């Protein structure tokens, strides 16, 4: 049913994606699907890294850790964009189409006031892409 599963990851908040990673790993094992972790960063220094190359290495290390602990291979892909905060949704949508993904597994959060004004990333993807999106809370 699924062949390529994408899991967006914010390296600054890896604790918040635990359930999404577990769900994606379980689905990948069940369907013999490939798993793709994707992280979006700016070329400038940020919360997680000093530059895009360091971010890429940290994402690769995180993917390797997940592969070992969950018994299924996670591939890492870094997207570099000048303004991740405003371009994140479109970057993710473009990436999932580029690789031909058929499922996105995303972590969510408990909605707050801000979510009534601005759409969440998971909400944006679920309503703007033709790929199935599984939101894990």
pLDDT digits (tens, 9 = 90+) for 2-23: 999 999 999 999 998 999 999 9
Whole-angstrom Cα distance, residue 102 to residue 24?
12
pLDDT digits (tens, 9 = 90+) for 58-74: 999 999 999 999 999 99
Order of strands, sheet of 34-41, starting from the edge strand that comes earlier in the sequence: 74-80, 34-41, 4-8, 103-107, 132-136
User: For residue 7, what are its two tokens?
Assistant: 């899991």
pLDDT digits (tens, 9 = 90+) for 85-110: 889 889 999 999 999 999 999 988 54
pTM: 0.88
Domain assignment of residue 110, given as a range? 4-136
Q: CATH number of the domain that 54 lies in? A: 3.40.50.620
pLDDT of residue 122: 60
pLDDT of residue 22: 98
Q: Is 39 helix (H, G, I), strand (E, B) or coil?
A: strand
* Number of separate domains in the chain: 1
Cβ contact 126:135 at 8 Å: yes
């Amino acid at each position: 049913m699924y062949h390529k599963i994408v899991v967006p990851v914010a390296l600054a908040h890896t604790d918040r994606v635990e359930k999404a990673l577990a769900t994606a790993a379980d689905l990948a094992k069940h369907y013999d699907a490939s798993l793709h972790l994707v992280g979006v960063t700016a070329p400038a220094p940020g919360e997680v890294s000093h530059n895009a190359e360091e971010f890429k290495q940290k994402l690769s290390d995180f993917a390797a850790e997940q592969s070992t602990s969950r018994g299924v291979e996670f591939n890492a892909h870094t997207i570099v964009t000048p303004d991740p905060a405003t371009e994140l949704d479109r970057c993710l949508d473009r990436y999932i189409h580029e690789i031909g993904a058929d499922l996105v597994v995303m972590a969510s959060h408990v909605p707050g006031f801000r979510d009534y004004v601005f759409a969440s990333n998971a909400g944006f993807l679920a309503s703007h892409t033709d790929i199935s999106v599984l939101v894990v809370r």
